[in-house]
Amino acid sequence: MNYCRRCGATLTAETNGPYTCKNSHVLYANPAPTVGLFLLDEQKNVLLTIRAQEPHKGMLDCIGGFVEEGETFEQALERETKEETGLSAQEYSELTYLTSAPSKYPFNSEYRSVLSNFYVATIKNDASPKANDDVAELIWKRPEDINIDDVGGADDVRAGLSKLLEVLT
């Protein structure tokens, strides 16, 4: 964080502590909660997204995003899945928790600390996902064809995908 959200003054970071400004406002760099979903088909192929916008435009990603105020992780994931793929919760199996991972997300020339919770579900045979919102394209990949280095600069998504690949193999 560079500037105080309350008054706009320059922030200074305490060693292993909060940020303060000249007006004595104290800010903590608590992570923002995010969610991610890996949808599988019956053959265990993984549905991944191609980002349509920066950061990491054109890179692989998973379905997901920030949790909004008042949402549970599951509600946020249902909303994000609908926004990005058009799929309703009735078009995939119940969500199964996979793992969590911290990361930094570039936002307005700063890096925002995030804590992501990843889930996995199986898409139903008659479901037809379509790229929407900030997704340029949806692609199915066999687990053995996934290159973690093709994932946009998000360490959390790489960690979630690595855990998924570990579980699938």
What is the average pLDDT across 71-77?
Answer: 98
Per-residue pLDDT of 115-131, as tens digits, reads: 999 999 999 999 999 99
Domain coordinates in residue numbering, the chain = 1-30, 31-168
Side chain identity at residue 70, one-letter code:
G
Residue with token string 């104290």: 26
What percent of the chain shows pLDDT beyond 90? 80
Per-residue pLDDT of 85-115, as tens digits, reads: 999 999 999 999 999 999 998 877 778 889 9
Handedness of CA 64, 93, 39, 169 (dihedral sign): positive
Q: What is the pLDDT of residue 119?
A: 98
Tell me the DSSP string of 94-151.
PPEEEEEEEEEEEETTEEEEEEEEEEEEEB-TT------TTEEEEEEE-GGG--GGGB
Looking at the predicted structure, is the pLDDT value of residue 153 above 80? no
What is the average pLDDT across 47-62?
Answer: 94
Q: Could you tell me the pTM of the whole model?
A: 0.88
| Residue 105 near residue 154 (C-beta atoms within 8 A) | yes
Looking at the predicted structure, is the pLDDT value of residue 1 above 80? no
Q: What is the pLDDT of residue 52?
A: 95
3 state SS of 75: helix
3 state SS of 160: helix
Q: What is the pLDDT of residue 152?
A: 85
CATH T-level topology, domain 31-168: Nucleoside Triphosphate Pyrophosphohydrolase (3.90.79)
